Amino acid sequence: MDRNGLTGAHDESSPMTGLYSSTSTLKPASNKFATVSLVLGVTGWVIYLLQWCFDLTLGLFLAALTGGLSAVCGTLLDILPFMLWLTGIVGGHVSLNQIQQSGAPGKSRAILGLVLNYFGLFFIIIFIIVIIVLITTGVEAGWVEKLLLQIRK
């Protein structure tokens, strides 16, 4: 190539040599669904744990102060991690399917996202089962204190 760039000759001394060569290899892009699955799993756990900390500290104060209006926000925060984990499970399975077909990187992220999401979903299901069992067996608030009083006698 001359100084004006008018000829089609290839100059090996050019700093741009090999920039557009056919031998350069591009890495395939990482699977976005794998990243989404992992982010949803982590976000679900962060929201869930922060919500528990909030309920045990400021939540009781705000419920008393607002006459229960803050319970609406608490209910939304209870449902949000569950929805994030369900969406993360779907995204994780979609990403594993795409990774298997295309060979794109990101399998470890997809698997880690699935583990976090399934563990969160399992945790919520066990928690709901325990609540249902406690309600149906007639266990009332303060049952631990009553049990401790019976043990001390």
CA distances from 29 to 26, 35, 71 (A): 9, 12, 43
Closest CA to 48 of 127, 120, 128, 114: 120
**Residue-wise pLDDT tens digits, 82-107:** 999 999 999 999 999 999 998 888 89
Q: What are phi and psi of 139, to 5 degrees?
A: -75, 130
**Residue-wise pLDDT tens digits, 13-30:** 555 555 555 555 667 777
pTM for this structure? 0.65
**Domain locations in the chain as residue ranges:** 32-142
Tokens of 12: 């090996």
